[in-house]
Chain A
Amino acid sequence: MKGLKLEHLLLEPLELRLVTTAPAMNHAQLWTHALSLAAGLQARGIRRLAVHLEDAGVLAIALLGAWRAGVSVLLPADLQPHTRQRWDESVDAWLTQASDLDALYQAPLPGAALDLDACQLSLCTSGSSGEPKRIDKTLRQLANEVDALEALWGADLKDACIIGSVATQHIYGLLFRVLWPLCAGRRFGRTQLAFSEDLQRASREHPRFAWVASPALLKRMGDNLDWPALSQVSRVFSSGGALPVEAAGSLYDRLGQWPTEILGSSETGGIAWRQGAQPWQPFAGVALSQDADGALRIASPYLPAGHIEHTADAARIHADGRFELLGRLDRIVKLEEKRISLPMLEQALMAHPWVTENRLGVVQENRASLGALVVLSAEGLHALRNQGRRTVTQTLRQQLSQHCEALALPRRWRLLRQLPLNSQGKLPQAEIDALLLAPRPKAPEVLEQVEANGEWTLQLSIPPDLAYFSGHFPVTPVLPGVVQVEWAFNLGQQLMAVPTRFAGMEVLKFQQLVRPGDTLELHLRFDPQRSKLYFAYRNDDTACSSGRIQLEAAHASAG
């Protein structure tokens, strides 16, 4: 199939040129629909359009129709209420389902070339400041990128059907699943196939196929798949985040080829590619440099002319022009290819009256997820004490769900009395991540300890997140009495030269409940004659508990 330039896609209808699979659409149908949409948009005076469509075929119609009508297109990342609200002022209309297009169709405008410099597309992503960021591109930038991809891999792919597991709202899916195949004359699947079983079934329907996938799927493909059949795949593209070396190796073993990883971003478009554990090979025309911090700077035909994009990726550039990535220099993280701004979510959490301070980090387990360190306000502590930890964490997750996808909601919560800031008043990200990995505390925090006449007086803070509060009780956490005895025993051992073996307790009194966030005074005194450790916990003027612990030397006989 002869290639078409992106700007020439609406010149004339081509019935024999296929565009999508199931349901099939040919180029003449695409042409008619796009020009009909263009007529409707013009008639209604729509100049700016927000488009969020799951069907890649309908998306192709919407994009070409809008560009033909001189309408600028914004592709929001999702349809969260917060997102809609944010962009509502900047657009005249939203297209979010096929019926929205049906309502606009009118007698088609004549076919024409698109103006590469006048046609606009805007993508949305998380900016490092926390505010969602809008990235404006001209059709020329996109066309340059499509040309480069076809020059690099077109001959390999031939007429492979393009099957995707990623969304088309982002630059990678948009280029690889829609714009590139449109220009190259390759058919593409309409829907995003998130599961490997669906990908397999779609693949089986075509003698030649290629995948536009991401690490989220590629690293979780199981033995239940028909690998001999799948190894017919012409090429496996992966982008959106780093593909772990083991996952790439496993695909190599099963498919007999390395997945082709694409490095890029919404801002820069494609930067480089690689197969296997090789350094990154920049795309033709991409010029790399570095700033004083070692961050990659990029000039490329996919950026506005003359623009140099400063990324936050630290890199090492080799003499042959290839390079390695050394990690991010900012607080943007990627979870399953979704770029997530930690500062934005932290701000959103701060807006809740239960939160005084918070920091987010990444917890790496089977899957990477976010964790939150939270210092509760007095109100938040009240909620914790009277409604329990689950209510608190669920409420805070609910708060965040207005601002992000479910995937970014913190799964691990650590409630702290205060953030352990360093001497510069900062909490380094490595420290946050370490705190999130640590188990919940089992000991009180000793704020102060003084000794007078053989009696110790300690100020203890009861951690809001004490491990013992779980299940004791789910809705009204209280400190178990046995833990109070254990703490008195342990602290006595640390502070005084006393026998080390626990031999019994007497006159135990529990008068007042101890709850998360309380500050207690603990009095400890050892009576060597009787070999008894006296303890008493007080909360201000109220006695909480007291008792005596019988101690004996470790080697003493039991009798």
Chain B
Amino acid sequence: MSDKQRLERDIKMLIIEALGLEDISVDDIDSEQTLFGEGLGLDSVDALELGLAIQKTYGIKIDADAKDTRNHFTNVACLAAFVTARQAA
């Protein structure tokens, strides 16, 4: 398993745990699957919760002054790329 795959799997586990999702396992979430609205069906409150959980777990900060920060939350692959980039910064 590559670092990228491992990070994506960890983020899926974080999503399942932080949002208390039942009957969904890591294998049920595709890295490219849309998380909010259609797709996994998460809502804006989940987005807020997930934002806090990601910042806490990975010790990173979401740049509040950058536009479109929420685009990083489109799917697991975007989130993983975002976490990697912020950790390197």
Contacts and interface: CB of A to CB of B under 8 A. Distances in A.
Interface stretch (A124-132, A174-182, A389-397, A488-496): A389-397
A365 B64 contact: no
Interface string A173-203: 0000000000000000000001111001100
Given A222-B55, A366-B49, A406-B41, A197 B20 contact: no
A197 B62 contact: yes
Contact of B20 (A222, A336, A369, A409): A369
A336 B43 CA distance: 11
A196 B55 CA distance: 14
B22 A413 contact: yes
Contact of A366 (B20, B44, B65): B20
B70 A394 contact: no
A168 to B, nearest CB: 16
A128 to B, nearest CB: 24
A471 B22 CA distance: 12
Contacts of B65: 197, 200-201, 204, 226
A222 B43 CA distance: 18
Interface string A382-413: 00000001100110000000000111010111
Q: Of residues A197, A200, A336, A369, which shows the largest number of chain B Cβ atoms within 10 Å of its Cβ?
A: A197
B45 A365 contact: no
B47 to A, nearest CB: 7
Contacts of A336: 45
Contacts of B69: 195, 197
B45 A196 contact: no
Q: Size range of the interface on B?
A: 20 to 34
Given A222-B62, A393-B22, A367 B67 contact: no
A77 B62 CA distance: 32
B49 A367 contact: yes
Contacts of B49: 220, 366-367
B85 interface: no
A394 B23 contact: yes
A405 B43 CA distance: 9
B43 A406 contact: yes
A199 to B, nearest CB: 9
A225 interface: yes
Interface in B45-66: 45-49, 51-52, 55, 61-66
A220 B44 CA distance: 12
Interface in A385-443: 389-390, 393-394, 405-407, 409, 411-413
Contacts of A470: 23
A4 interface: no
A217 interface: yes
A220 B50 CA distance: 10
Q: Size range of the interface on A?
A: 20 to 34
B52 A220 contact: yes
A195 B41 contact: no
A216 to B, nearest CB: 6
B23 A366 contact: no
A369 B42 CA distance: 12
B64 A200 contact: yes
B81 interface: no
A197 B49 CA distance: 14
A393 B23 contact: yes
Contact of B48 (A217, A390, A409): A217
Given A222-B52, A224-B63, A197 B70 contact: yes
B23 A390 contact: yes
Given A224-B55, A367-B45, A196 B64 contact: yes
A365 B25 CA distance: 19
Given A201-B67, A220-B52, A225-B64, A195 B47 contact: yes
Contacts of B43: 405-407
B22 A411 contact: yes
Nearest to B27: A474
B51 A222 contact: yes
Given A197-B70, A220-B52, A412 B22 contact: yes
A219 to B, nearest CB: 9
A363 B61 CA distance: 29
B19 interface: yes
Interface string B1-44: 00000000000000000111111110000000000000001111
A293 interface: no
Sorted nearest first, the 3 A-B pairs with minimum C-beta distance are A390-B23, A224-B61, A220-B48
Interface of A: 194-197, 200-201, 204, 216-217, 220, 222-226, 336, 363, 365-367, 369, 389-390, 393-394, 405-407, 409, 411-413, 470-471
Given A197-B62, A225-B64, A394-B23, 5 more contacts: A200-B65, A201-B65, A222-B52, A369-B20, A413-B22
10 contacts: A195-B44, A197-B64, A222-B52, A365-B20, A366-B19, A390-B24, A406-B43, A411-B20, A411-B22, A413-B23
